[in-house]
Chain A
């Protein structure tokens, strides 16, 4: 999964995340999934924001989590919450090469 290092510009303020947010993702990876590797470096890319129509350039941290297929729902639920914590419209999740965009739960 890819988590941008900044809050969404349109949804929020485009600022860097607080260290609390990064700690927030570590805790469930460590406890619930008993692991998860942060890949070295940042992954830079761009996409078109469907709401604004503007091109967005971003840099993300990549996390790799190994887990059985039956636990994917838990991971998706974690990322739904992560959208709120990291102020993202959606989070990129690749499962065995198949890409999903996980959106936040409605609040």
Chain B
């Protein structure tokens, strides 16, 4: 089985891609090394839309396809290699969790038992949470720390 593992450790089976999808992926893998972030982003979004819209997929459905996610990952890796962005870490995931699942930071802190001051330091990258403390906080809201394979570049 041929796989693509993204920066977050998510694995995608490339064998399920059909000929057109593989052709597009291979072309953009080559392009990613040659063109700018903007060119890659604009062209990959345009071409993946054209491919899947001709098959009757909505934009929302296209977002869920493995090819969309892999193309995003290929572009993301180039951005990290070029020093234009950084690879996400647990603090980005924590930030997203606070933003999308809780009305306020205070609500998140009340639910997890973390202090607002500590959360602020962690999200501002001034401090780290210990694994024990993070696990305990996340468990209170039904989440867990996981270990995934590191495949990032840069």
A residues adjacent to B (C-beta < 8 A): 5, 12-13, 15-23, 26-27, 30-31, 34, 37-41, 61, 84-85, 107
**Contacts A18-B86, A30-B63 known; 19 new A-B pairs at CB < 8 A:** A5-B84, A5-B85, A13-B126, A16-B85, A19-B76, A21-B92, A22-B76, A23-B76, A31-B60, A37-B42, A38-B38, A38-B42, A39-B38, A40-B36, A41-B36, A61-B38, A84-B99, A85-B99, A107-B105
Complex: A22 Cα to B84 Cα, angstroms? 10
B79 at the interface (CB under 8 A from A): yes
B96 to chain A, nearest CB (A): 7
Looking at chain A's contact residues, is the secondary structure mostly helix, strand, loop, or mixed? mixed
Looking at chain B's contact residues, is the secondary structure mostly helix, strand, loop, or mixed? helix
B119 to chain A, nearest CB (A): 13
| 22 A-B pairs whose Cβ atoms sit less than 8 Å apart in the complex | A12-B124, A15-B86, A15-B125, A16-B85, A19-B79, A20-B96, A21-B92, A22-B76, A22-B85, A23-B76, A26-B41, A30-B45, A30-B49, A30-B63, A31-B63, A37-B42, A38-B37, A38-B38, A40-B38, A40-B39, A84-B99, A107-B103
Query: By the criterion CB–CB under 8 Å, are B105 and A19 in contact?
Result: no
B residues adjacent to A (C-beta < 8 A): 7, 36-39, 41-42, 45, 49, 59-60, 62-63, 72, 76, 79-80, 83-89, 92, 96, 99, 103-105, 123-126
A104 to chain B, nearest CB (A): 10
